[in-house]
Amino acid sequence: MTWSLEGIPNHLADQVAETLSRSGNLSGAGRIWQALYDRNRGLVAADPTNTGWQRDLAVILDRIGDVAVARGRLDDAADAYEKGRAIAERLAAAEPTNTGWQRVLAVSLNKIGDVAVARGRLDDAADAYEKGRAIAERLAAAEPTNTGWQRDLVVSLNKIGDVAKARGRLDDAADAYEKGRAIAERLAAADPTNAEWQRDLVVSLNKIGDVAKARGRLDDAADAYEKGRAIAERLAAADPTNAEWQRDLSVILERIGDVAMARDHLDDAAAAYEKGRAIRERLAAADPTNAEWQRDLSISLNNIGDLATAQGRLDDAAAAYEESRAIRERLAAADPTNAEWQRGLSVSLNNIGDVAMARDHLDDATAAYEKGRAIREHLVAADPTNAEWQRGLSVSLNNIGDVAMARDRLDDAAAAYEESQAIRERLAAADPTNAEWQRDLIISCVRLAETGRAPRDNYARALEVAERLQASGRLAPSDAWMVEELKRRLSQSED
């Protein structure tokens, strides 16, 4: 279908496309933006000196890139964003005092950073985000009353925090997120009717909660998530056709379920997960071409599987994990350059291996675990600075060790556990505030002790970490048994 924009100004056509995009109609939005691109490219070619048309073309390219990202086409997205940046850089360099062009450049840089994150290139992402933040900070400082520029700064700070979190730098992530939240709260309080600012606050609260959860501060995490849910529910109820707001609510429900799982409140977790899944199933069914919504649904299915596993319902867990894997395999095959989708597939493979282990199907478990490890080794080799991927590899190694233990191959098990432990010691030392990484280290020490490798030393090390978590209130309720059990094992162990 060819769209005619005759007689329709750019800004009105863009508004229509934005409305379609927010309602989940990527196809319609994409066609309008492509028609706008074709028209404006012709205008620019006819008069290259018209900077207004140049700017419009840069903005349209960003929109086209957004549609490509949502559809999982990172190459197309990167191409559009880079073209937009090239235009924005020329405009900003030609007239550095033009704040509007500086802002267009900052937005382009953020989007280029987003593609780099999806591809697992944290250095490139950090470079783009920092350049974008520098512009946003200058604009916000130059005119503190300009709410648009203040909001841009919130977005930049959140992205800087995301990279820091991926690298395992929780202090840096928390600092960026808290700065962003402070601005978002001021804007939201200044105009409670501004839905965009209310949504920004939801995003900030989610990120604050994520750091608190990683640190084992479950009460703080729950508080942040519940505040975010209250806002997200109001927005979603106010406009059920806004797919972005519906998705936001599903994200925060997922987080609330995660905290409930950590607290061993399985009924609460089930309620949150099921509500989130229902939203994501509707979105994914409404537009099967939206890769981001498909990915969201795969996460919900994984969560449902985790819950079923915790409740001992292995058949239900296996069904959920397999459904999740099917989605993730399609996504990973569609774009092998998307590191996040590759990582997601590795998670599904590990979960499927866990069910096979619980059923004593060791060959099936090995096959799944080895496929997962291969993906994670590739990711870690591509970006050794990504601490989350390092942790993922340590999980795969532990799983492979578990299979070797089940087969009574103690040397093979010990080799896998030792490799995992080396990663976890580095991560735990790099950030002692990360409770998840400290817990991982406990598990590795216990596994090694069980192979007969320095049992007293390993149980003592595990106990030391567990007691430290307990003393600081960061040992999850579901792990409350650890300290006494480790004391018992240590008392009975011999080197």
The answer to whether residues 340 and 448 belong to one domain is: no
The answer to whether residues 342 and 394 belong to one domain is: no
Q: Measured over all CA atoms, what is the biggest interatomic distance in the chain, rounded to whole angstroms?
A: 85
- The pLDDT of 102-107, averaged and rounded, is 94
Q: What's the pLDDT tens digit per position in 474-489?
A: 888 888 899 999 999 9
Percentage of the chain lying above the pLDDT 90 cut: 82
The answer to whether residues 404 and 364 belong to one domain is: no
The answer to whether residues 396 and 491 belong to one domain is: yes
The answer to whether residues 477 and 401 belong to one domain is: yes
Q: Is residue 274 part of a domain?
A: yes
The answer to whether residues 321 and 409 belong to one domain is: no
Q: Is residue 45 part of a domain?
A: no
* pLDDT of amino acid 340: 92
* pLDDT of amino acid 24: 78
Q: Is residue 154 part of a domain?
A: no
Q: Is residue 248 part of a domain?
A: yes
Q: How many CB atoms lie within 10 A of CB 474?
A: 19
Residue 467 pLDDT exceeds 90:
yes
Domain final residue, candidates 243, 263, 286 = 286
The pTM of this model reads 0.87
- The pLDDT of 91-97, averaged and rounded, is 92
Per-range mean pLDDT, top range of 38-42, 288-292, 350-354: 350-354
The answer to whether residues 394 and 479 belong to one domain is: yes
Domain final residue, candidates 252, 286, 320 = 286
Q: What's the pLDDT tens digit per position in 209-220?
A: 999 999 999 999
| Structure confidence at residue 23 as a pLDDT band (50, 70, 90) | confident
Q: Is residue 153 part of a domain?
A: no
Q: Is residue 89 part of a domain?
A: no
Cβ 129 vs Cβ 173: under 8 Å? no
Q: Is residue 141 part of a domain?
A: no
Q: Give the CATH number of the domain where residue 221 resides.
A: 1.25.40.10
The answer to whether residues 357 and 451 belong to one domain is: no
Q: Which residue has the higher pLDDT, 70 or 189?
A: 189
| Structure confidence at residue 349 as a pLDDT band (50, 70, 90) | very high
Q: What's the pLDDT tens digit per position in 367-416?
A: 999 999 999 999 999 999 899 999 999 999 999 999 999 999 999 999 99
* pLDDT of amino acid 3: 55
Q: Is residue 55 part of a domain?
A: no
The answer to whether residues 338 and 387 belong to one domain is: no
| Structure confidence at residue 4 as a pLDDT band (50, 70, 90) | low
Quote the mean pLDDT of the chain: 93
Q: What's the pLDDT tens digit per position in 330-345?
A: 999 998 989 999 999 9
Q: Give the CATH number of the domain where residue 464 resides.
A: 1.25.40
* pLDDT of amino acid 44: 87
| Structure confidence at residue 12 as a pLDDT band (50, 70, 90) | confident
The answer to whether residues 446 and 464 belong to one domain is: yes
Instruction: Give the chain's domain count.
Output: 3
The answer to whether residues 372 and 389 belong to one domain is: no
- The pLDDT of 179-208, averaged and rounded, is 96
Domain with 464, as residue range(s), is 383-495
Domain final residue, candidates 377, 400, 424 = 377
The answer to whether residues 446 and 495 belong to one domain is: yes
